[in-house]
């Protein structure tokens, strides 16, 4: 009966006001037991976040509908999940920084998002006076051994990329340990989406990370719709699908090129850069914005696809895909680049499962999960599409997942455009009469992106939390680089392509 420990615990607990998943309010003891079950691999952790007075975690058993477990914070404390389940450590540290709640028994209570430069401590909780620290004053995990040396990299890098600090401990060229320190692009998204009109919250969620703006808006819109009990019109759902796949195409093109460029094989980037640009220009022509920002709104979409635009999209795909196939052949037929990608940055399959790693990171390490299929939502419900899964777990596998998804996305776009229903593209969004909650997951190009939202009466967002896929991929990068050489880190890092902005909130 061990497998059903969590179900047994939750059987008597009434489900709360969340839609569409059940939310169970439990006491600290049950919360801790469920955390222990997570650690034993009985469930996977989808998200862990806080709000004043409460901590929530979204968990899922493979093949079942996920649920949210909430516990009240008593005396500013809640049972640590990270104690049992390492993927929860960083979210917990973030909760501690933002709300000031102590995770009891947590293995790691170093600040995560708060680098000591905020003007107040625990800004979403007690909001006490700031405890200013030197941002550089941060205790890295100890590494013991002979002939080891440290290489600090960042947060300011030689290239124009987002900021993050990486501390390598190496023995010559071989990496013994990598520790990440993130949080440099904290924008206060949780605070900025607290008690604001829905439209304002939608804009802010859309700006969490520019490359995933469609997926974030999509998830936010669906969460709001779920809370209000409405659905977007079928045509709006199909258009959302086209946008989400276009975003995936643009980013995957960019990633395939950028990964090869990190091995100084710039010819792939040169061509993939053009492919990405073509998609962005297409998006601008069809939807009026290169990244399609703010085009998905609660209730539907803000931009329609005309018959002319649909033909334009198909024509662009017809031109790009054969050209991309040639680049794929070039990648496959060049031994020097294959030598760099194959076997580099291996991520073990059990770690991918343990951290519930989504997106190409998980699927390259045999974790067969795609939110579009496994937590199906319109317009993907009932549609068959390829979800490429590889078992090698190396940089090459992560490239191949992306190559496979590019083909699958193009097929999906064609299918969506071919069966585009007629009708309105925006449903009226009623004002909530009473507080209500909604949650939704969409498949961004990085993996599953979760949005939880609580609406207050009168068309306002009371609280909102966005969890980017990167939260559970960043820690895996630390594992994947171990035993590799320092010079291969950029390649591994780019093959993960985790978000800084999306993670730092």
Partner 1 sequence: MAMMLDLALQLVQITLLVAIAPLIVGITRKVRARLLRRRGPPLLQPYHDLWKQMHKEAVVADNASWVYRRAPYMVFAATWVAAGLVPTYATGLLFSWSADLIAVVALLGTARFALALAAMDVGTAFGGLGASREMMIASLAEPAMLLIAFAVALIAGTTQLSAIAALFATGDVGLRVSLGLALLALVIVGIAENARIPIDNPSTHLELTMVHEAMILEYSGRHLAMIEAASHLKLVLYFSLVGCLFVPFGMATGDKTLPALAIGLATFVAKLVAFAVLLPIAETTVAKMRVFRYPAFIGSAFAAAALAVFLRFVSRGF
Tell me which residues in 173-212 interact with partner 1 (CB under 8 A).
173
- Beta pairing class for 436-444 and 18-19: parallel
The least CB distance from residue 135 to partner 1, in Å, is 19
258 versus 297: smaller Cβ distance to partner 1: 258
Largest alpha-carbon pair distance within the chain? 69
Peptide bond into 20 cis (omega under 30): yes
Contact residue for partner 1 among 263, 310, 351, 453 (CB under 8 A)? 263
The CA distance from 223 to 42, in Å, is 26
The least CB distance from residue 325 to partner 1, in Å, is 18
The least CB distance from residue 414 to partner 1, in Å, is 27
488 versus 504: smaller Cβ distance to partner 1: 488
Q: Which two tokens stand for residue 451?
A: 């949005």
For residue 357, report the phi and psi dihedrals to the nearest 5 degrees.
Answer: -70, 125
The CA distance from 376 to 441, in Å, is 9
Packing angle, helices 234-262 and 213-228, rounded to 10: 150
Residue 1 touching partner 1 (CB under 8 A): no
The CA distance from 430 to 489, in Å, is 50
Residue 485 touching partner 1 (CB under 8 A): yes
216 versus 268: smaller Cβ distance to partner 1: 268
173 versus 195: smaller Cβ distance to partner 1: 173
Residue 274 touching partner 1 (CB under 8 A): yes
Packing angle, helices 234-262 and 307-333, rounded to 10: 30
The CA distance from 239 to 286, in Å, is 11
Select from 5-13, 256-264, 447-455, 462-470 the region that touches partner 1 (CB under 8 A).
256-264
Residue 328 touching partner 1 (CB under 8 A): no
Q: Is there a contact between 374 and 448 (Cβ–Cβ < 8 Å)?
A: no
| DSSP-derived 3-state class of residue 345 | coil
Q: How many residues does the chain have?
A: 505
Residue 267 touching partner 1 (CB under 8 A): yes
The angle subtended at Cα 212 by Cα 209 and Cα 216, nearest 5°, is 90
Contact residue for partner 1 among 264, 281, 315, 319 (CB under 8 A)? 264
Contact residue for partner 1 among 4, 104, 325, 339 (CB under 8 A)? 339
Residue 329 touching partner 1 (CB under 8 A): no
Burial 152-164 (b: 16+ CB within 10 A, else e): ebbbeeeeeebeb
The least CB distance from residue 264 to partner 1, in Å, is 4
Contact residue for partner 1 among 489, 495, 498, 502 (CB under 8 A)? 489
Contact residue for partner 1 among 488, 495, 500, 502 (CB under 8 A)? 488
The least CB distance from residue 282 to partner 1, in Å, is 19
Tell me which residues in 143-172 interact with partner 1 (CB under 8 A).
149-153, 157-160, 168, 172
- Beta pairing class for 102-104 and 77-79: parallel
Residue 270 touching partner 1 (CB under 8 A): yes
161 versus 284: smaller Cβ distance to partner 1: 161
Select from 58-66, 74-82, 95-103, 479-487 the region that touches partner 1 (CB under 8 A).
479-487
Select from 30-38, 66-74, 115-123, 261-269 the region that touches partner 1 (CB under 8 A).
261-269
The least CB distance from residue 394 to partner 1, in Å, is 13
Number of residues that bind partner 1 (CB under 8 A): 34
Residue 62 touching partner 1 (CB under 8 A): no
281 versus 487: smaller Cβ distance to partner 1: 487
The CA distance from 230 to 198, in Å, is 15
Residue 340 touching partner 1 (CB under 8 A): yes
The CA distance from 92 to 262, in Å, is 33
Tell me which residues in 388-417 interact with partner 1 (CB under 8 A).
none
Residue 334 touching partner 1 (CB under 8 A): yes
Q: Which two tokens stand for residue 495?
A: 């093959």
The least CB distance from residue 413 to partner 1, in Å, is 26
The CA distance from 216 to 162, in Å, is 19
Contact residue for partner 1 among 85, 181, 248, 271 (CB under 8 A)? 271
Binding mask 208-247 for partner 1 (x = CB under 8 A): ----------------------------------------
The least CB distance from residue 263 to partner 1, in Å, is 4
Q: Is there a contact between 439 and 464 (Cβ–Cβ < 8 Å)?
A: no
DSSP 150-213: EEEE-SS-SSS----EEEEEEETTEEEEEEEE--TT---HHHHTSSEEHHHHHHHHHTS-GGGH
The least CB distance from residue 158 to partner 1, in Å, is 5
Q: Is there a contact between 136 and 162 (Cβ–Cβ < 8 Å)?
A: no
Residue 342 touching partner 1 (CB under 8 A): no
Could you tell me where the DSSP H helices lie in 229-296? 234-262, 266-287
DSSP 105-133: T-S--S-SS--S-SSEESTTTT-EE----
Binding site for partner 1 (CB under 8 A): 149-153, 157-160, 168, 172-173, 260, 262-267, 269-271, 274, 334, 336-337, 339-340, 485-490
């Amino acid at each position: 009966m061990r497998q059903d420990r969590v179900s047994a615990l939750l059987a008597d607990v009434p489900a709360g006001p969340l839609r569409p998943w059940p939310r169970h309010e439990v006491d600290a003891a049950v919360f801790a037991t469920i955390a222990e079950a997570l650690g034993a691999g009985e469930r996977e952790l989808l998200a862990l976040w806080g709000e004043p007075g409460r901590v929530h975690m979204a968990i899922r058993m493979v093949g079942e509908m996920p649920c949210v477990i909430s516990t009240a914070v008593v005396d500013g404390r809640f049972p640590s999940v990270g104690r049992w389940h390492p993927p929860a450590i960083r979210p917990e540290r973030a909760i501690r920084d933002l709300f000031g709640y102590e995770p009891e028994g947590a293995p790691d209570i170093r600040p995560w998002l708060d680098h000591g430069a905020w003007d107040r401590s625990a800004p979403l909780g007690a909001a006490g006076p700031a405890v200013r620290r030197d941002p550089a004053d941060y205790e890295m995990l100890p590494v013991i051994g002979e002939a080891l040396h440290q290489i600090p990299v960042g947060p300011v890098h030689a290239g124009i990329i987002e900021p993050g600090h990486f501390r390598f401990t190496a023995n010559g060229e071989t990496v013994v340990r990598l520790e990440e320190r993130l949080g440099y692009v904290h924008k206060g998204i949780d605070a900025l989406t607290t008690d604001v009109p829905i439209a304002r919250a939608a804009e802010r969620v859309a700006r969490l990370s520019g490359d995933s703006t469609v997926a974030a808006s999509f998830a936010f819109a669906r969460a709001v719709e779920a809370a209000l009990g409405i659905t977007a019109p079928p045509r709006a759902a199909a258009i959302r699908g086209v946008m989400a796949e276009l975003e995936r195409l643009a980013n995957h093109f960019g990633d395939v090129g950028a990964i090869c460029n990190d091995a100084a094989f710039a010819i792939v980037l040169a061509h993939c850069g053009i492919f990405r640009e073509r998609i962005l220009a297409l998006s601008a022509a069809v939807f009026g914005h290169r990244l399609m920002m703010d085009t998905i709104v609660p209730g539907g979409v803000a931009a329609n696809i005309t018959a002319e635009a649909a033909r334009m999209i198909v024509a662009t795909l017809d031109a790009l895909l054969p050209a991309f196939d040639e680049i794929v052949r070039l990648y496959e037929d060049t031994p020097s680049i294959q030598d760099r990608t194959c076997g580099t940055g291996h991520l073990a399959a059990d770690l991918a499962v343990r951290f519930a790693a989504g997106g190409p990171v998980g699927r390259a390490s045999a974790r067969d999960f795609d939110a579009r299929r496994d937590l199906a939502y319109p317009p993907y419900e009932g549609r068959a599409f390829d979800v490429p899964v590889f078992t090698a777990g190396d940089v090459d596998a992560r490239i191949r997942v992306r190559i496979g998804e590019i083909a699958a996305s193009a097929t999906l776009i064609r299918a969506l455009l071919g069966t585009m229903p007629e009708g309105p593209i925006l449903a009226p969004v009623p004002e909530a009469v009473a507080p209500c909650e909604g949650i939704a997951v969409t498949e961004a190009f990085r993996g599953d992106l979760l949005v939880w939202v609580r609406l207050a009466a009168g068309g306002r967002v009371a609280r909102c939390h966005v969890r980017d896929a990167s939260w559970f991929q960043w820690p895996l990068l630390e594992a994947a680089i171990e035993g590799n050489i320092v010079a291969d880190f950029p390649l591994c890092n780019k093959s993960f392509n985790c978000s800084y902005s999306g993670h730092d909130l």
